[in-house]
Amino acid sequence: MSDTAEDFIRREVGRFLRVDYRGKFMCASCLLKLTLERFGTTRYTRGQIERTLDTVFRSPGALRRVHAFVCDQCGKTLPCLTATPSRPDTALPPMDEQNLRTRIRALMASMTLPTHTRDSVASIEMQYRALPDERCVVCQEAAPHILYTFREGKLVRLHAACDAFWREERLSS
């Protein structure tokens, strides 16, 4: 019995994210590049691999899709896949300060997090009661405490520690 392209690519992408890139977030372009580097196009064409990755992103199965996150490979803010569990009781250890600061700088560079907030913030809500599926834009953990609402309608949800690091990074930029 031979694998379909979807079976093969889904299994190998899962292996990338669980073993080789454990705890990392990867966009479709970087996963395509890794897949082509590792397996070439002898078994499946580039088009088959691209279509299969689109399918995996639409229906990630045991993987987790994050709508907008900084890809650990290219640094762009895009939809990403990860094998990191979304439930806190099964999550990997929390990110350390250096990783949080690196992610904040990347989010600022991509304008996901503004570098200057003085004139653009409409409101800041402390002790914000997050909905169950809402996550901190920096660490992607559940239950952010702070909600920034910007004049253009953008919402940014953060934990207190992530907010403090963001404030410090804004001052140094």
Q: Average pLDDT for residues 52-73, to the nearest whole number?
A: 86
CATH numbers and ranges of domains, the chain: 5-84 (1.10.10), 97-172 (no CATH)
For 32-57, the pLDDT digits (tens) are: 999 999 988 888 999 999 999 999 99
Q: What is the 3-state secondary structure (H, E, C) of 108-173?
A: HHCCCCCCCCCCCEEEEECCCCCCCCCECCCCCCECCCEEEEECCCCEEEECHHHHHHHHHHHHHC
Contact by Cβ (8 Å): 146, 158: yes
Q: Average pLDDT for residues 49-69, to the nearest whole number?
A: 87
Q: And the tokens for 121? A: 């913030």
Confidence at 87, pLDDT banded by 50, 70, 90? very low
Q: Average pLDDT for residues 69-74, to the nearest whole number?
A: 86
pTM of the model as a whole: 0.52
